[in-house]
Structure 1
Amino acid sequence: MAFGAAAKHYLFGRSWDEVARNGGRELLVDHIHLNDRGGAIITDFAAHWLSVSKPT
């Protein structure tokens, strides 16, 4: 699946988000790599975790 996603992106010029959407996936491009929405969720989670887990 990763090879197919890469082919659609590099050979046909589709964005990673478009590849994910066309495959019916909301957060991942190829069941391994995050698309923009999935990355934003993880970024927000990590930022929140870092802000509340400061050493005392």
Structure 2
Amino acid sequence: MSRDSVAPGSVRSAAEVNEQIRALWLRAGGTLSAQERAEYELLVVEWAAAMRGEVVAAA
């Protein structure tokens, strides 16, 4: 993963993670390498967890 990635268990907002996902796609030019794909998958899982946390907090 990139050097600015955050360790597992850290708390970032869904918006922050989404921004990192968008940056990854821009850097990759729309085609992900195997390493970028692995990073993308981790980011999507983190984004989904952040979304769940934000929905629970709002409730």
Q: What's the TM-score once normalised by structure 2's chain length?
A: 0.40
More helix per residue: 1 or 2? Answer: 2
Q: Which has the higher contact order (CA 8 A, sep 6+)?
A: 2
Q: What's the TM-score once normalised by structure 1's chain length?
A: 0.42
